[in-house]
Chains A and B, each alone.
Chain A
Amino acid sequence: DTEVTQTPKHLVMGMTNKKSLKCEQHMGHRAMYWYKQKAKKPPELMFVYSYEKLSINESVPSRFSPECPNSSLLNLHLHALQPEDSALYLCASSQDEDRYYGYTFGSGTRLTVV
């Protein structure tokens, strides 16, 4: 299995809702990432998990809460989002110590906050 699977593919949520984005990989990668991408912009890093521990938080608002239950799963819990949080949320994974193979990205979750 050489894929990163993200669910759901599309999500519409109200500003008072609580929802979660899920990401799964079975490549044995020990680093996993959340990126946010607005239309016609590059992906921006949100969080990095290395060996199931949060190693980088790029000053993301607390209404985004990441969780890494095990080495294959990464969640992003969403609460009290704003319309400007609408974006494509991308999950990626990589072999942590080996910097020579690039990242594998999922297809993303298209989030709309209404």
Chain B
Amino acid sequence: SQQGEEDPQALSIQEGENATMNCSYKTSINNLQWYRQNSGRGLVHLILIRSNEREKHSGRLRVTLDTSKKSSSLLITASRAADTASYFCATDAKDAGNMLTFGGGTRLMVKP
């Protein structure tokens, strides 16, 4: 089953621009995580934000979390062609045991 929905499904920008991806989810969570996947390869963990945190930064990445709206956003600043990938949010839901449930993903293309 899919916990989250991501918006937009696809995004195309020029190198140097910022990219914003949004994620909505349905249940109470322990944390929310963002992953990147290059063209059918494995997923790479980018950042984890706990339910009691509102914003987190890691390099060019900025993640926000609004638990009242059950939503999160991932901002990539000063994008590069190498950022071209699919980005997934994933929720670690409370009372759900050890399981991470992924949203539908956003396919980002950064044009050089």
Residues of A within 8 A of B (CB): 4, 6, 31, 33, 39-45, 48, 50, 55-56, 88, 90, 92, 94, 96, 99-108, 110
Cross-chain contact B48 with A106 (CB below 8 angstroms): no
Instruction: Give which listed residue, B41, B101, B103, contacts A108 with CB less than 8 A.
Output: B41
- 15 example contacts (A-B, Cβ-Cβ < 8 A) are as follows A6-B42, A41-B105, A43-B88, A43-B102, A44-B102, A45-B100, A55-B98, A56-B97, A88-B40, A90-B43, A102-B45, A103-B43, A105-B35, A105-B42, A108-B42
Interface size class of B (residues with CB under 8 A): 20 to 34
Nearest to A39 among chain B residues (CB) is B40
Contacts of A6 in B (CB 8 A): 42
Most-contacted residue by chain B among A6, A88, A103 (CB, 10 A) = A103
Report yes or no: B42 in contact with A56, Cβ–Cβ below 8 A: no
Is A42 in contact with B45, judged by CB distance below 8 angstroms? no
User: In whole Å, how far is B106's beta carbon from the nearest beta carbon of chain A?
Assistant: 11
Apart from the given pairs A48-B97, A108-B42, 13 other A-B contacts in the complex at a CB distance below 8 Å: A31-B98, A33-B98, A42-B2, A42-B88, A43-B102, A45-B100, A56-B97, A56-B99, A101-B48, A105-B44, A106-B42, A107-B42, A108-B41
The distance from the CB of A63 to the nearest CB of chain B, in whole angstroms, is 21
B31 interface neighbour in A31, A90, A100, Cβ under 8 Å: A100
Instruction: Quote the shortest CB–CB distance from A7 to chain B (angstroms).
Output: 13
A102 touches B99 (CB 8 A): no
**B104 touches which one: A42, A48, A90 (CB < 8 A)?**
A42
